[in-house]
Amino acid sequence: MTYQQVIRGQIVTPERVIRDGWLAIRDGRIAALGDGPHPDAHDVHDAGQAYIMPGVVDGQTHAGSYGGLPGLEATTRSAVAGGVTTIVDMPYDSPAPLCDLETLDAKVAAVGRFAHCDCALYATLLPGQSVEMIPLLIAGGVAAFKISAFEANPTRFPRIPADMVLDMFNALSGTAVPLGLHNEDQEIVRTTIARMKAEGRDGIASHSPSRPVAAEMASSAHFLELGFNAEAHAHLVHISHARGFDMVAHYKADGGRATGETCVHYLWFDPDEDGPALGARMKVNPPIRPGERERLWAQLLADRIDFVSSDHASWPLSSKETGSIFTAGAGVPGLETLLPAFFTAAAARGLDAPLLAAKYLCERPARFFGLWPRKGSIRIGADADVVVLERKDHKWDSAAAHDGLCWSPYDGAVFTGKVTKVWLRGQLAWDGAEIMNAPGDGQYVRREAAPMPA
Amino acid sequence: MTYQQVIRGQIVTPERVIRDGWLAIRDGRIAALGDGPHPDAHDVHDAGQAYIMPGVVDGQTHAGSYGGLPGLEATTRSAVAGGVTTIVDMPYDSPAPLCDLETLDAKVAAVGRFAHCDCALYATLLPGQSVEMIPLLIAGGVAAFKISAFEANPTRFPRIPADMVLDMFNALSGTAVPLGLHNEDQEIVRTTIARMKAEGRDGIASHSPSRPVAAEMASSAHFLELGFNAEAHAHLVHISHARGFDMVAHYKADGGRATGETCVHYLWFDPDEDGPALGARMKVNPPIRPGERERLWAQLLADRIDFVSSDHASWPLSSKETGSIFTAGAGVPGLETLLPAFFTAAAARGLDAPLLAAKYLCERPARFFGLWPRKGSIRIGADADVVVLERKDHKWDSAAAHDGLCWSPYDGAVFTGKVTKVWLRGQLAWDGAEIMNAPGDGQYVRREAAPMPA
Amino acid sequence: MTYQQVIRGQIVTPERVIRDGWLAIRDGRIAALGDGPHPDAHDVHDAGQAYIMPGVVDGQTHAGSYGGLPGLEATTRSAVAGGVTTIVDMPYDSPAPLCDLETLDAKVAAVGRFAHCDCALYATLLPGQSVEMIPLLIAGGVAAFKISAFEANPTRFPRIPADMVLDMFNALSGTAVPLGLHNEDQEIVRTTIARMKAEGRDGIASHSPSRPVAAEMASSAHFLELGFNAEAHAHLVHISHARGFDMVAHYKADGGRATGETCVHYLWFDPDEDGPALGARMKVNPPIRPGERERLWAQLLADRIDFVSSDHASWPLSSKETGSIFTAGAGVPGLETLLPAFFTAAAARGLDAPLLAAKYLCERPARFFGLWPRKGSIRIGADADVVVLERKDHKWDSAAAHDGLCWSPYDGAVFTGKVTKVWLRGQLAWDGAEIMNAPGDGQYVRREAAPMPA
Amino acid sequence: MTYQQVIRGQIVTPERVIRDGWLAIRDGRIAALGDGPHPDAHDVHDAGQAYIMPGVVDGQTHAGSYGGLPGLEATTRSAVAGGVTTIVDMPYDSPAPLCDLETLDAKVAAVGRFAHCDCALYATLLPGQSVEMIPLLIAGGVAAFKISAFEANPTRFPRIPADMVLDMFNALSGTAVPLGLHNEDQEIVRTTIARMKAEGRDGIASHSPSRPVAAEMASSAHFLELGFNAEAHAHLVHISHARGFDMVAHYKADGGRATGETCVHYLWFDPDEDGPALGARMKVNPPIRPGERERLWAQLLADRIDFVSSDHASWPLSSKETGSIFTAGAGVPGLETLLPAFFTAAAARGLDAPLLAAKYLCERPARFFGLWPRKGSIRIGADADVVVLERKDHKWDSAAAHDGLCWSPYDGAVFTGKVTKVWLRGQLAWDGAEIMNAPGDGQYVRREAAPMPA
């Protein structure tokens, strides 16, 4: 029998690296795995000593916040160039969020037209909308729901009032589907920003104080407690401070379904070190906190972080160059750098970088969103989403990036891992120099019908 | 030497009852304590086998919510008839809350004019008010601050926005003074009430669901977390459900200064049992929860409840007889029944009722509000606030009560403990039949300048 | 390329079953794994819908206690017929225990001559022996050390005094090698047995009371605490009562290296139910406790049991038929029934039996004894120790067993899983009817040079 | 009414010091307590600014180990001079331990003949003795039982085998009476000593290593676990290392009745600092551990130490001057220095020394041994065991001590608290210079018939 494709190298399986390994692809899935001599294939790629990783599942992407649904194209081009073979796209598209079957259908269609990688989808509800939409969206395959405690935009990214949060939790209570929160207390953030503006403090150093840790934590506590009362799954989509994971741990110990995610930028940057050079180019919300980075790594090593994502946002640099941290857009491009940055930072700390990346960037988010075992691991039967990662120093230059944005907070950083080949369901998507697949080669992936946890 | 007053009986000290005991009063303070033959005194009261208790310190009274500052008169008359020698009065007076030095002065003056018992005072701030008032009010002797997460009245009992809560915690952070919260999430409560009204469900059975446990708990979580972040003392003034004390316990374990109080009605009533007969006469906020009473007693026995109070409110019965649970006033008279009801309920459960009452109604609130060792215990040097409590069955009849309201949710209940004498700082205030002291015999008591906890 | 062997069926990998799977063997190792069409092989076995499991690693076998080193032959014949491809053999051989390089060499030679399956070895020390032997035995590849707190036999199974236990822990402290304990307090057991004998209580119902839970627990506590003080790995080789796992959990929480194992008979039998029929045929030490079985399953589901073993002992039935529970031999044959009984009991409780068996009978003991990743999982590069387990009811009949003993406490039990094929390092060892390999086809397997846990 | 005696000064009650306080004595009991002007009395002692403390209850005294029952005289003389008004005397008298009604009667008679202070009594059983003696001894009023895991002397201080320990726990299970343990593993200690002797290491620096921490801890773990299994109260009479209190805390958390005591010398000395000067004069068993002192203070401040005692032993100095740490007698005189040393050490650490002394030296041991509320606190109805402690520097000189031994490990230490008056049940026993009462003025005090803890 002849396989479609064989790839050989150091295969990163969930618990161990197969040194002289190979995997074989048939019908777009991983059909065989082995070491030593490999079977025949129409195409054989020998990656030498490079790692063969599962494709990254980015649990938090904002593809359409800026460019609308067509934004999927550049975003997913950037994804595959960074080893991300599945994005879980946020519902806050421009001009309207994904909140009903029409917008779901439109987005699924856009995936089929624009996407270079596979896409799972977050849904949301708008203020005032009935929670009766929830089971319909679940039937439509959405992976999770997300809402915000902070109004970033009245129609596109509104604040959901507490009564509706509780209604949503009650509607989700009997399901395995999580409700995620953008966790910032609106009243505290707005007032604090107004104060700092009045004081003329509008540089990057004012960003974290203007959205205080307390605002993030109080919003998180309120939300986790509502989810606990409803016996539903409450998820914090970005925790910037170790305290957040302590809180999540309390809820887990009390028997609640609570989880927390951090983003790679919280594990990489520190405003005290990087702020002077980057300014608003490192503005994300919640803010990166001074002095917190190593405490977050400690939480990761204690296995209290559920997974790590990019929170990629496709803002043009112009949106950052506004003269004030408060008018600058929040969010940074991060898909293409997600795996290289996480790998580099883990390796620099003496950790087992390939296994940690496979766990926190691939398997954990895939399980969280109900995509495992189809996505997230190199295992028989899984989609042949495969990444070749070479241990090789390369300085990041966003001019060569694929998101069409031409800027990155990582510019100039030296990464020690480089994505040199990516296959999506067995099809070569990135060859280390060029995007090889076409818009629309990505597919919509549905949350697996998952039984409730016992 | 001849004392002013000697009282003999079973003296309830914090850890033990002195069977054939006596206490002697000089200058309004307990100057001696003993057993057997007692010293000379101008007046000797032999209480036989009755308990001689410390005067109750009610940590939550609303004297002026209805009648304004003159309301202190009837309220404190009722207090002394119930063995309460100190109230900690809430700031939500009519027409204006205690929120600055003028209103403090006015209230202190009113105490001097109207009060039959001693009064410590809660202060509050109004929305938009500067926290710079906080140290001034502390210097003025207030015992604690209270705010609400729910607007019961836009001027008298407003909701404080989260940013201001955080400001207040930061202002209180370096002090021992607690910030208390009326812990109900406004958005959830308002929406849920509106829904139930629309459904025509307006009886007492709808009261607890209309202000869901989740609303109370989420509001509590948000507030505790803000206090934790500010390293200040966060206090929940009424917890109606065991989960609230679990939360407080997590904050204590994490090193936070968090506390929680319950009220005697949560330990006495159950809407499933008592609702049909009482209707709105058992309406309090947060609501009494069906099936929760014994779980709260379990929390008390596990020593997870910081203290127990009355939450006495002086509404006329007419405010309850409105035809709908949603228009009925919230709050019940409870000062005069606080000690008898707690004592009766504890004894009925086979507990050591006099020692538990001395702990949760006297010593613990006195310590909490910085009034100990002056108040709260029978000990040398303490104010001679002394109560004679006889073990004697008596059916409660609000017609004979002293709050001028002529109604009570306890009407018809048989109490097994009866307050037959009360001295306030050595002066007879209640002789079992008549109020013996005069309006203005009560004093304003200031929080002791307390060092921060180590 | 043509593999030596291909096996197809439902492949049980550590986290998931590959439905239409296959594995391919080259040079005695699992060289490839896949689903769908399989590669060429000199031999292909299609197991249909049967489970393809990793070979069981029995963490506690007594092959030579009765028949001496030649006992390895019948014992390992029985092992392979039961799907056990590696035994970790206890050191208490007849006539002399494995306690130095000579006895190690002799046993390794005996493995090479008699064993049908692979054998890792426990070593021990004799009372008075120098701990300087420990590093030599580790260099010789032993997997662990075991001692006893109870003298079952003065030379073959002696009690090790506490000072020597501490010496051994200190010698093992810097290594990953565990010290296991037969955990029964000698003084309590001897005295209690003497008492019951004197009272004429010598039936099976007297067995558990004659070796009280307290004796097991006190011995365990003493040992765990010594290991904790020496910062060494302390292991309880058989825990018969849930309390033992609670204790182990405390040591883990305190940062100690403590582990506990139970045996399949504690998960299967209850003396109250089975004693009347089985009598001494269910005698093991520590005894099976009345009413404890389901509490042990609860510990297993809470993941507080490190692994499950057989404690197989090769006593002839005559040693059980002595007329008194106190003279009957302790221990039961259990290798051939280990996997079927565990699988059956797990399935009967509605659990995922193949995954639980792979975890507690294969991967966990392999990791514990430093044999993973060579043993214990179906993964690329592992030894091709492979078991076909069919879901098929069969009544156990020891007359057909392979241990040469012709008795079993499981006689008449209906198992719902049956071992129908076994390969050892790629060689067919059991075909469901006959033992297919020869004595000496088993090999000695050494503990992997394991780094200390971080 | 005229009292027998009035004492004024700073009265140390359990929770607070009464500054200008007094207590009045009638019939040997504290009959009144007050501040300001005091009542009439036949005798009034004004202690000025000195502390008026409850008499110390020493939970661990060895009065008769050396001099037999007559040893009570010098020991209790020393006690009262040190502010100890009750000793709980150990059963290991010379020549025979207190283990039956005859030896109990003899000791009670000796108390009546020799004792200067009150005496509660520990009992023990001898190896082989029936536990049926236990209820008889309890009926005889003994406060607790003690046994040893180490044979210090075959008849006087034997090791009790584990089976008998379990029998004793079972016999005590339904009672509130504790079983205490001298917690050293005999096998480890004997072997280690033999080794060190063989190596010629016989100085004080070898003492702790010769009786390793592991020996103490393993013995403690074994004993606590037996008590836990029997649901009885297990007590460690001296814990020399913080780990011991961690263990006790685990048992408390698991719902067991476990307690632990330390001795004042573990809180004062360190062999690294004091060994060169003191040598065998600081030999106690278990040994004082190098570097452990401040960790024990931390345990005390975390309230994990149940109480603190002297472990006073009346060895002549000659028993210490034997040329080898291994032949030197174990134990030190410590009654007269117990309160001054504890007070001094607590004050030196900035702690509230009078309140801590009242808690750990008085109230806690009195409660533990069932002597409270008669002993242990200054409260109405308690025995008038009263101590005047002045804050005054004085250098300790054993030449002036009252135990007839003329040596002390504290010689030359400067204490900052001095016992200047002691009353025993209202009778002056020590006037700061002379013993004022007579042998036999002390009484036997029985354990109060205590109900089981709920």
Contact B215 A166 (CB under 8 A): yes
Strands C427-430, C144-148: pairing is unpaired
Contact exists between A and D (3 or more beta carbon pairs < 8 Å)? no
Distance from CA of B369 to the nearest CA of A (A): 26
CB D43 within 8 A of CB D426: no
CB C188 within 8 A of CB D212: no
Contact A230 B214 (CB under 8 A): yes
- Residue C151 reports pLDDT greater than 70: yes
Across the interface, of A31, A34, A380, the residue whose CB is closest to C24 is A34
A308 and A287 within one domain: yes
Beta-carbon contacts of A62 under 8 Å, excluding residues fewer than 6 positions away, are A89, A90, A92, A311, A312, A313, A314, A331
Please provide the average confidence, as pLDDT, over all residues in chain C. 96
CB A4 within 8 A of CB A27: yes
For chains C and D, count residue pairs whose Cβ atoms are closer than 8 Å: 92
Give residue A164's domain range: 54-368
Q: How far is CA A4 from the centre of its chain?
A: 30
Across the interface, of B163, B228, B254, the residue whose CB is closest to A191 is B163
B45 and B60 within one domain: no
pLDDT mean over C322-341: 96
For chains A and C, count residue pairs whose Cβ atoms are closer than 8 Å: 59
- Does residue D288 form part of some domain? yes
- Does residue B183 form part of some domain? yes
- Does residue C151 form part of some domain? yes
- Does residue A439 form part of some domain? no
Q: E-assigned strands of C149-241?
A: 179-182, 233-236
Among D368, D392, D414, the domain boundary falls at D368
CB D122 within 8 A of CB D181: no
Distance from CA of A381 to the nearest CA of B (A): 43
Please report the pLDDT score of residue C449 as a whole number. 63
Dihedral, CA atoms, D422, D423, D427, D433, nearest 10 degrees?
0
Q: Does B252 touch chain A (CB under 8 A)?
A: no
Residues 328-347 of C with CB under 8 A from A: none
Q: Does D222 touch chain C (CB under 8 A)?
A: yes
pLDDT mean over B144-152: 97
Q: What is the CATH number of the domain that holds A414?
A: 2.30.40.10
Give CA–CA dist C93/C116, Å, rounded. 18
Q: Does B21 touch chain D (CB under 8 A)?
A: yes
Among A333, A368, A403, the domain boundary falls at A368
Give CA–CA dist D283/D204, Å, rounded. 7
Question: What would the two tokens of residue A158 be?
Answer: 């509104």
Q: At what angle do helices B213-230 and B242-253 cross, to 10 degrees?
A: 20
Q: In chain D, what residues touch B4 (CB-CB under 8 Å)?
A: none
Residue in C200, C180, C328 with CA at minimum distance from that of residue C263: C180
- b/e map of C195-219 (b: 16 or more CB within 10 Å)? ebbeeebbebbbbbbbbbbbbbbbb
Residue with structure tokens 């661990």? Answer: D60
Plot region of A206 (φ>0 → left; ψ -120 to 50 → alpha; else → beta): alpha
Distance from CA of C7 to the nearest CA of A (A): 13
Give CA–CA dist A73/A77, Å, rounded. 6
Give CA–CA dist B302/B325, Å, rounded. 34
- Residue A412 reports pLDDT greater than 70: yes
Instruction: Classify residue D28 by burial, with Cβ atoms within 10 Å: 0-12, 13-18, 19+.
Output: middle
Plot region of D279 (φ>0 → left; ψ -120 to 50 → alpha; else → beta): left
Contact D33 B33 (CB under 8 A): yes
Q: Does A217 touch chain B (CB under 8 A)?
A: yes
Contact B191 A163 (CB under 8 A): yes
A82 and A13 within one domain: no
CB C420 within 8 A of CB C388: yes
Q: In chain A, what residues touch C13 (CB-CB under 8 Å)?
A: 379-380
- Model confidence band, residue C362 (pLDDT cutoffs 50, 70, 90): very high
Nearest CA in chain A to C27: A36
Q: Does D380 touch chain B (CB under 8 A)?
A: yes
Please report the pLDDT score of residue A450 as a whole number. 54
- Does residue B141 form part of some domain? yes
Q: In chain B, what residues touch D39 (CB-CB under 8 Å)?
A: 1, 32, 39
Residue in D195, D219, D186, D212 with CA at minimum distance from that of residue C161: D186
Please report the pLDDT score of residue D66 as a whole number. 86
A154 and A111 within one domain: yes
3-state secondary structure of A173: coil
Give CA–CA dist C219/B386, Å, rounded. 57
What pLDDT, in 10s, does the model give residues D143-184?
Answer: 999 999 999 999 999 999 999 999 999 999 999 999 999 999
C61 and C19 within one domain: no
Residue in B140, B68, B134 with CA at minimum distance from that of residue B97: B68
Tally helices (H) and strands (E) across chain A.
14, 16
Among A338, A368, A398, the domain boundary falls at A368
- Model confidence band, residue A427 (pLDDT cutoffs 50, 70, 90): very high
Please report the pLDDT score of residue A449 as a whole number. 63
Please provide the average confidence, as pLDDT, over all residues in chain A. 96
Contact B381 D18 (CB under 8 A): yes
A177 and A285 within one domain: yes
- Does residue A169 form part of some domain? yes
B24 DSSP β-pair partners? B6, B32
Q: Does A39 touch chain C (CB under 8 A)?
A: yes
Please report the pLDDT score of residue C67 as a whole number. 86
Distance from CA of D216 to the nearest CA of C (A): 10
- Model confidence band, residue C450 (pLDDT cutoffs 50, 70, 90): low
pLDDT mean over D98-103: 97
- Residue A452 reports pLDDT greater than 60: no
B214 and B179 within one domain: yes
Distance from CA of B163 to the nearest CA of A (A): 4
What pLDDT, in 10s, does the model give residues C70-85?
Answer: 999 999 999 999 999 9
Q: Does A213 touch chain B (CB under 8 A)?
A: yes
- Residue D451 reports pLDDT greater than 50: no
Please report the pLDDT score of residue D258 as a whole number. 98
- Does residue A274 form part of some domain? yes
- Model confidence band, residue B211 (pLDDT cutoffs 50, 70, 90): very high
B133 and B8 within one domain: no
pTM recorded for the entire structure: 0.94
For A40, other C-beta atoms within 10 Å of its C-beta total: 12
- Residue B448 reports pLDDT greater than 90: no
CB B24 within 8 A of CB B3: yes
Q: In chain A, what residues touch C380 (CB-CB under 8 Å)?
A: 11, 13, 18, 21, 33-35
B358 and B339 within one domain: yes
Residues 157-196 of B with CB under 8 A from A: 161-164, 166, 185, 187-188, 190-192
Please report the pLDDT score of residue A451 as a whole number. 47
Contact D187 C161 (CB under 8 A): yes
Sheet holding C84-89, edge to edge: C307-309, C257-263, C233-236, C179-182, C144-148, C118-123, C84-89, C56-62, C312-313
B104-108 long-range contacts (CB < 8 A, ≥24 apart) are B104/B137, B104/B140, B104/B142, B106/B69, B107/B64, B107/B69, B108/B444
Name the residue type at position C284: V
- Does residue D289 form part of some domain? yes
Tally helices (H) and strands (E) across chain D.
13, 16
Give CA–CA dist B200/B194, Å, rounded. 10
Question: What would the two tokens of residue B239 be?
Answer: 């917890």
D248 and D389 within one domain: no
CB D166 within 8 A of CB C212: yes
C68 and C32 within one domain: no
- b/e map of A48-75 (b: 16 or more CB within 10 Å)? eebbbbbbbbbbbbbbbbbbebebbbbb
Q: What is the CATH number of the domain that holds D314?
A: 3.20.20.140
- Residue C451 reports pLDDT greater than 80: no
Tally helices (H) and strands (E) across chain C.
13, 16
A132 and A12 within one domain: no
Residue with structure tokens 């009280």? Answer: C212
ipTM of the complex: 0.96
3-state secondary structure of C192: helix
What pLDDT, in 10s, does the model give residues C269-326?
Answer: 999 999 999 999 999 999 999 999 999 999 999 999 999 999 999 899 999 999 999 9
- Residue B92 reports pLDDT greater than 80: yes
Please report the pLDDT score of residue A453 as a whole number. 46
The total of structural domains in chain B comes to 2
Residue with structure tokens 């506690």? Answer: C60
Q: Prior bond to D95 cis, omega within 30?
A: yes
Give CA–CA dist D366/D120, Å, rounded. 10
Q: At what angle do helices C101-114 and C71-81 cross, to 10 degrees?
A: 50
B35 DSSP β-pair partners? B21
Distance from CA of A20 to the nearest CA of C (A): 10
Question: What would the two tokens of residue C319 be?
Answer: 């040693």
Question: What would the two tokens of residue B157 be?
Answer: 């009992």
Give CA–CA dist D197/D202, Å, rounded. 6
